Structure 1
Amino acid sequence: MFGSVVALLATLSLVAACSNETDGGAVFDSKAPGKQQERDETPAAKITFAPADGAKDVPVLDPIKITVDGGELTDVKLVTPAGKEVAGKLAADKLSWTSGEVLGYGKTYKYEATAENESGKESTQEGSFTTLAPAATPRATINPGDEATVGVGMPVSIKFPEGPVTDKAAVEKALKLETSVPVEGSWGWLGDQQVDWRPKEYWPANTKVTVNAKLYGLSFGDGAYGKSDLSTSFTVGRSQVVKINTPQHKMDVYRDGSLAASYPASNGKDADPNLNTPNGTVIVMSKEPVGDFSNPRYGYTNVKKKWAVRISNHGEFIHENEENRANIGKVNSSHGCVNLFEADAKKYYDTALVGDPVEITGSKAKFPTTSDVFDWLIPWSQWQSMSAL
């Protein structure tokens, strides 16, 4: 009997030694009797992508953001369809990553992120999204160009030659103009394909101007998005303003507010408004050492004149005309141009800058608002109303 009890106790002891039951979350390691291991019940870090995996028509300007909850990001990759990594920045706390460059239109990007939870266990998540594919990406141009020196009447002009802009307010908000000295001015839309900025009064001499147009990724309306950003930095030169009162048969040049030169002139014929040198303020648009003034409508061809300064696309120039010498300073006999003696025309030509104002008064006709540059023909109050904002 006593032997049976001993055998029974030995059997129970053996069963207990082989058991895997836990006590208070501890387990016995069969390889190391008496050692306990903690069960890792910490949840994996949760990674979130914005935009979400599979997203379509993602705006190219919106930054891509990857965040984590319950851990830290240890590695993030966002790659183009060609496999190039997109630049981005991991936050100091390692809880988020944000892309640092704009994306391309109509492309599928892949992202992959790895995070480590509080107990050091890593988990990885991946996905992809596709950016929007515009119906059109019209280009735009900006004038004046970089490093240009222009006259005090020069407007800033942004044109959209490949199509109309329907969301003018959105585009105008994307335009930023900075000046080295305070200048009052405003953007004004000259139709659906051009927006200009002009000062209320002429630019102060020697003003430095920088313009940035953040157009890439911007909706122009009707499915069109900007093709690229634009920028320019230019300088306004000395102040030079030409003043012509047509009945006086002379052209006065004011530099920095003082009369610098006065040249005898013959302007457009007074009796015929179609041939007048029209009233209004225009600007020097271009200069040519020799201009072609052929006009079959009026019966003359192969007419070349020196020191041609264009002041409108309506057909008006300031140039020499020695063939009209007898009338210069005495009679208005041209077909709309301002005729000068050759020596005077050369002197003026050498001083003229694109953007110099030319103020004309005394005629029967007015400049039409069909020339390339007619900003100064519009009163300031009306100009302000032409802004979309």
Structure 2
Amino acid sequence: MSRSRVRLLWTALAAALAAVLLVSGCGSQPSGGGGAGAQAQAPKAKVHLEPGGGSDVNPAAPIKATVEGGELEEVALTNGDGKEVEGELAPDGRSWTAGEQLGYGKTYTWSGEATGTDGKSVPVQGSFTTVSPERTVRATINPTDHSEVGIAMPVSVKFDSAVTDRAAAERALEVRTSVPVEGAWAWLSDTQVDWRPKEYWPANTQVEVDANLYGVDYGEGEYGRSDLTTKFSIGRAQIVKADASTHQMVVERKGQQVASYAASYGKDHDPELNTPNGTYMVMEMNPVEIMDNPRYGYTDVEKKWAVRMSNHGEFIHENEENRANLGKVNTSHGCINLSEADAKAYFDSAMIGDPIEVTGAVTTMEPRYDVYDWMLDWQQWTQKSAL
């Protein structure tokens, strides 16, 4: 074979090999949208919404928008009426948080935009609907704001409907104190839960209570209507020591006796008319109280300086008609009788929430009349918690 023909043959072979390599190279390129090239083109910003969708969302749940790999440029959460929910964008642009509670039974729509570190924009979008309760339950809390109360005063939360899921309601309640105080919640009925300390409150304690009840599922389609708060203070430590066997009523303050009044308690020989043993509390104070007991032949009787200590019917009040028996014989129908001067002196010293400890009677008060928080020992009390 001539040299020229050899050169021509090698030239043809080289051309064929180049063609094969070219075809092989083209075949290695990605087709359609797959492969690393397409992945490199995906936006880096990823938006996360809480909640991002769904129905029966609890309106008290966390409401938040966050982004990874970028910053939120703008965020809006709008209800069905077109009103935007108040919210705040974090300084770093990484999150947006709602600043108000959502409503029951409403649809909310997310909108806005985020920009990734690659400069590409992604939308903020989604919608959800909050739960529609069959009924919202109203609650009240006592003591009220800025009250000063005695050392036996419980915190009381009352509901206008029976609570099925008591544990859920109780978990929403918090008590904070200026000094350490051991205490617990107890359900006294299906519509009332009280918190009391194990022992009487330390004098001058500052107390704050949060009842975060909005959005709480009480069961049976019922939800909490609103949150409640209160701040109150505990006053001086005053205790009434009422020993029916002595015919005296002693007042102690800061552990020291400050007064002793001649008294007449409920009749010793008649259990129906005793002043029963137990730890009561000053519930109400009225300069004049109208008293009725048709069973024993009197109605519309006015008594001065009346301090209610039980809804069973017991008071501390003046009874000048019984003056001859004060300090000598127990002749009342269950109340603690004092002279007018002594009743006024005690009335002026008393405070809602002061404890009244009755001893020396032949009967004991049943723990079922308001307020009976201190008729229960600590073990009995803690057993009434739902948690």
TM-score over 0.5 for the pair: yes
- The residue that corresponds to 2:115 in the other structure is 116
How far has the Cα of 1:107 moved from its partner? 0.9
How far has the Cα of 1:383 moved from its partner? 1.0
Q: How far apart are the structure 1 equivalents of 2:183 and 2:52?
A: 44
Q: Secondary structure at the match of 1:293?
A: strand
- The residue that corresponds to 1:51 in the other structure is 51
The answer to whether the 8 Å contact 1:319/1:339 transfers is: yes
Q: Secondary structure at the match of 1:116?
A: strand
- The residue that corresponds to 1:216 in the other structure is 214
Q: How far apart are the structure 2 equivalents of 1:377 and 1:93?
A: 56
Q: Secondary structure at the match of 1:268?
A: coil
- RMSD across aligned C-alpha pairs, in angstroms? 1.9
Q: Identify if the C-alpha distance between structure 1 residues 194 and 124 changes in structure 2 by more than 3 Å, giving closer, same or farther.
A: same
1:66 and 2:65 correspond: yes
Using the TM superposition, name which of 212-221 and 114-123 deviates more: 114-123
Using the TM superposition, name which of 288-297 and 86-95 deviates more: 86-95
Q: How far apart are the structure 2 equivalents of 1:118 and 1:153?
A: 61
The answer to whether the 8 Å contact 1:42/1:119 transfers is: no
How far has the Cα of 1:199 moved from its partner? 1.1
1:313 and 2:336 correspond: no
The answer to whether the 8 Å contact 1:47/1:125 transfers is: yes
The answer to whether the 8 Å contact 1:241/1:254 transfers is: yes
Q: Identify if the C-alpha distance between structure 1 residues 303 and 217 changes in structure 2 by more than 3 Å, giving closer, same or farther.
A: same
How far has the Cα of 1:368 moved from its partner? 2.0
- The residue that corresponds to 1:157 in the other structure is 156
- The residue that corresponds to 1:144 in the other structure is 143
Query: What code does the residue aligned with 1:191 have?
Result: S
Q: Deviations over 1:158-209 (max 9, x none)?
A: 111x211122222222111111111111111112111111111111111111
Matches within 5 A, 1:12-161: 42-44=41-43, 47-53=47-53, 55-68=54-67, 71-118=70-117, 120-160=119-159
- One of 362, 367, 388 as aligned partner of 2:360: 362
Q: Secondary structure at the match of 1:241?
A: strand
Q: How far apart are the structure 1 equivalents of 2:117 and 2:176?
A: 50
Q: How far apart are the structure 2 equivalents of 1:61 and 1:388?
A: 22
Matches within 5 A, 1:333-352: 333-352=331-350
The answer to whether the 8 Å contact 2:163/2:191 transfers is: yes
Structure 2 unaligned segments of length 5 or more: list them.
Answer: 1-37
Q: How far apart are the structure 2 equivalents of 1:70 and 1:316?
A: 70
Q: Identify if the C-alpha distance between structure 1 residues 325 and 48 changes in structure 2 by more than 3 Å, giving closer, same or farther.
A: closer
1:291 and 2:289 correspond: yes
Query: What code does the residue aligned with 1:237 have?
Result: G
State the TM-score, normalized to the length of structure 1.
0.84
How far has the Cα of 1:70 moved from its partner? 5.8
Query: What code does the residue aligned with 1:147 have?
Result: H
State the TM-score, normalized to the length of structure 2.
0.85
Q: How far apart are the structure 2 equivalents of 1:279 and 1:46?
A: 69
Q: Secondary structure at the match of 1:62?
A: coil
Q: What is the total number of aligned residue pairs between the two structures?
A: 348
The answer to whether the 8 Å contact 2:240/2:355 transfers is: yes
Structure 1 unaligned segments of length 5 or more: list them.
Answer: 1-38
Query: What code does the residue aligned with 1:240 have?
Result: Q
How far has the Cα of 1:94 moved from its partner? 3.4
- How many percent of aligned residue pairs carry the same amino acid? 59
